[in-house]
């Protein structure tokens, strides 16, 4: 099987990769890089193509899919406390102003 051939993957794995790829593209990642990351994530979660063979398969490891959300926020944490506080106060004022109209 040549590199890049996805025939060994199930329909579900292909859908997962497509969905993950769309998420990366929405965040500004290039199309090629998004596809590479998506398939890497699916491979990490499921252990690669699972179409052939029978019997009870291995459970899906969902940690790689959750990882992206957990590692976020590093940029915000690096900002000074006064800057974060000012942003929070501004947001609160906006929400308060919009809630009465």
The tens digit of pLDDT for each residue in 15-46 reads 999 999 999 999 899 999 999 999 999 999 98
The pLDDT, as a whole number, for residue 88 is 92
Q: CB of 45 within 8 A of CB of 61?
A: yes
- Alpha-carbon distance of 29 to 21, in angstroms, equals 9
Residue 16: what are its φ and ψ, rounded to 5°?
A: -60, -45
Q: What is the mean pLDDT of residues 52-70?
A: 76
Residue 60 CA to residue 49 CA, distance in Å, equals 12
Look at residue 54 and tell me whether its pLDDT is greater than 60. no
């Amino acid at each position: 099987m040549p590199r890049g051939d996805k025939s060994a993957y199930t329909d579900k794995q292909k859908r997962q990769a497509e969905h993950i790829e769309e998420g990366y593209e929405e965040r500004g990642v290039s199309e090629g890089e998004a596809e590479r990351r998506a398939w890497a994530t699916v491979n990490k979660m499921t252990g690669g193509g699972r179409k052939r063979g029978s019997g009870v398969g291995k459970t899906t490891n969902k940690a790689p899919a959750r990882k992206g959300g957990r590692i976020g926020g590093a940029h915000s944490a690096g900002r000074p406390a006064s800057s974060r506080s000012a942003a929070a106060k501004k947001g609160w004022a906006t929400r308060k102003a919009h809630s009465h109209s």
